Amino acid sequence: MLLAIDIGNTNITLGFFDGDALIRTFRLSSQPKRAVDEYAMIIKTILRESSIHSLDSAILSSVVPPLTPIFEAMCIGHFSLMPVVVNYQLDMDIRLSIPRPEGLGPDRIASAVAAYGLYGGPVVVVDFGTATTFSVVTENGEYIGGAIMPGIGMSIDALARMTAGLPEISLNPPERFIGDDTRSNLCSGIVFGHVGAVEKILKGIKRELGSSSVRVILTGGFSGIMKNYLRRYKVVPELTLEGLRMLYERNKTCTS
């Protein structure tokens, strides 16, 4: 059983793979102050409740530096596993054709690997996480860059924190552009504004690629809401976990 760990700024996503099959996922909040033993206890509880008897391998992607050694220590100390840690130097079936590949987030590497491996290129991954990111892979498997914009959750938090009269809200999918109270105004502006920005950026990416036949894959925590407004694109919620599995298969000898 492979444990895939995707550590994001807001959430940690755990995926449990039996061969190619993702049989269980679990999300918890990213908390650097939790100890190694606390995270180990959470994972052991998941294993017990899911009737998973053992783990034999692990791979780790992290954009939160303080959490990386915690999860490495947990894998080694509690499960006797040396995890593959995702970075730009791993063996992968795409080429990172950007000036500073060491600066590319490991989650974006994993999702780009999965998108190209599953669907070929040219392909764009739009990841609706803490930030909304665009990752572009050409027909020949070259990762050439992308874009980053404030995410939906970040927009909600910023409006609540930086304005005196706007509340922090739970986002509901808006049905109309014209809201009739503060909450529906916020939902409309945040969601439809995000949709417009995503479509504008995708249009520019396609123009710069010189192709209209570009696959677009939506993923990330807010993709479940955004798919209602971006219906022509494919939604793969666990794309990053799939990429981690693929990266592990190509790099598992690194841990032996």
For residues 62 and 39, give the distance between their C-alpha atoms in angstroms, rounded to a whole number: 15
Choose, from 18, 91, 93, 107, the residue flagged as catalytic: 107
Tell me, yes or no, if 107 is annotated catalytic. Answer: yes
Among candidates 61, 64, 45, 72, which has minimal Cα distance to 239? 61
Gap between the Cα atoms of 183 and 196, Å rounded: 20
**Are 15 and 71 within 8 A, CB to CB?**
no
Q: Is 168 helix (H, G, I), strand (E, B) or coil?
A: coil
* 51 three-state secondary structure: coil
Structure tokens at 196: 């417009």
Peptide bond into 122 cis (omega under 30): yes
Residue 193 has phi, psi (to 5 degrees) of -65, -40
CA 196 – CA 202 distance, rounded (Å)? 10
Alpha-carbon span 148 to 172, nearest angstrom:
23
Length of the chain: 256
3-state secondary structure of 3: strand
Question: Which residues are part of the catalytic machinery?
Answer: 107
